[in-house]
Amino acid sequence: MADDLPAEAGSSPTSNPGAAPVAVSSALSIQLTQVRVPLEDAADALSTPDAAGRLPIVILPRHALRIRNDLVIAGLVVLVVGLVLDLTIAARGGFLGLAGLLVVLGVFRSFRVPVPEGSQAVLLRGGRFLRTLGPGNHWVVPWIIVSHIVTTRETPFDAPAVSIPTKDDVRTNVDILMTFTIAAPEKFVFTISAPDFDQICQATCQENVRLLVRSKDSDEVLDLGAPDTELLRSGIGATLESYGVEVVRVVLTHVTPPMEFIASRESRRLATIQRAEEQEHHALALLRQSDREELERMRISARREAIELEATNEVARLERLEGRIHEYPNAMHWDVESQRLDVARSLAANTRAMVNVGSGSDVAASLLMHTLPENGTPPPAAPEAEPEAGRRRGRGQPQG
């Protein structure tokens, strides 16, 4: 395997709708890396980000054999010194014991294989895949080699797609965030390396996003939801499954059409809202007009009913009055004459009034007796007296 990959400057790629395509392409740095460290440092390497903020997904043990060669060599050197030098029996025994201890320590540590939490170790025997080991400390014979430590945690991956045409040819920028897990570490490490998988993953995500966007209109692209993300997840997962990778979820983080299109769409929506408000106001005005007309109709109907009721009451009153007059004619005559007498009495003090009591002949006789002097000779005619007498008669004669 290759040595440590150089750290790449910049943060994880993000979608920048306002930037040019060249700037976006430069932002697509590698997100998935692998590093080479000693086996005992694998846990720290999996949890320590590099200068670009990336966590490795694959650890390559720096030494294929787990035997501590430094301790074994030191033990052999001490053994040779103890055998070559002319020492006492006690000193020689001490050298031999120290040499044996160093050799034992160098070999004993090779049996212990620590696997960090959230990862699996890939074991080889004779250059062929043997099995994988889960998290924890395991005892493995030294001739079985630990080739890779692979993370099994959920790993995020950002995949921006720039200037994708929709069905109606509106260029749209779409950024998705995909998370995946390495379900089969042995298939992953023996099929592809982490940096190469980064490029494959980026291309697969962009291809599926382009296929989705090209099947939508511009208005539909802005309303992408759960069914569309599930379609992306299944499409991307079907491609990456051959690398032992399982796609967990896909999230749409940015969907950005051109600013001119957004402004036009907002204008259309605003016009639709205003038109709906105008229609609502018009409907309310019609409803108020209808209520006023209905109220006026009810008022006219109530007035008509009141007039009809009043006429009915008047007819009933007149019918009752007519019936009483027919039953008591003398009482009616006496009542009329009584009222005339009351009027005459009230006007008796008025010398300018003339009261008509009785029939028309009685009125003529009374007028003659009132105008003749005591000797019976009528006075000469006065031109202005006649209108005055007419006014007297008009004021004094009650209407029959």
pLDDT in tens, 75-91: 777 777 777 777 777 77
* CB contact at 8 A, 77 and 52: no
84 lies in a domain? yes
Residue where a domain terminates, one of 257, 288, 318: 257
Residue where a domain terminates, one of 227, 257, 287: 257
6 lies in a domain? no
DSSP 4: P
Cβ burial of 115 (10 Å; 0-12, 13-18, 19+) is: buried
Same domain assignment for residues 175 and 51: yes
Name 206's bridge partners.
none
Label the pairing between strands 171-182 and 155-165: antiparallel
Q: Alpha-carbon distance 107 to 114, whole Å?
A: 16
Q: In the predicted model, is pLDDT for residue 252 greater than 70?
A: yes
Q: In the predicted model, is pLDDT for residue 375 greater than 70?
A: no
Q: In the predicted model, is pLDDT for residue 38 greater than 70?
A: yes
Residue-level pLDDT at 380: 55
Residue where a domain terminates, one of 210, 231, 257: 257
285 lies in a domain? no
Mean pLDDT of the chain: 78
- For 33, other C-beta atoms within 10 Å of its C-beta total 22
Size of the chain, expressed as the number of residues it contains: 400
Residue-level pLDDT at 256: 86
**Global confidence as pTM:** 0.57
* CB contact at 8 A, 238 and 207: no
- Quick one: tokens of 154? 């959920």
365 lies in a domain? yes
pLDDT tier at 133, thresholds 50, 70, 90: very high
| 330 vs 216 pLDDT, higher one | 216
Q: Alpha-carbon distance 36 to 45, whole Å?
A: 9
Supply angle C-alpha 100, 103, 104, rounded to 5. 85
pLDDT tier at 393, thresholds 50, 70, 90: very low
Q: Alpha-carbon distance 364 to 343, whole Å?
A: 19
Q: How many CA atoms lie within 13 A of 325 on its CB side?
A: 10
* CB contact at 8 A, 185 and 150: yes
Domain span holding position 370:
329-396
| pLDDT tens digits, 301-330 | 999 999 999 989 888 888 888 888 888 878
Same domain assignment for residues 253 and 352: no
Same domain assignment for residues 45 and 182: yes
Same domain assignment for residues 151 and 239: yes
Residue 31 belongs to domain with CATH number: 3.30.479.30
Round to the nearest angstrom and report the end-to-end CA distance of the chain: 139
- Sheet of strand 245-256, all strands in order from the earlier edge strand to the far edge: 155-165, 171-182, 245-256
Q: Alpha-carbon distance 23 to 4, whole Å?
A: 27
Q: Alpha-carbon distance 201 to 235, whole Å?
A: 12
Residue-level pLDDT at 210: 93
Total of domains in the chain: 2
Q: Alpha-carbon distance 156 to 187, whole Å?
A: 20
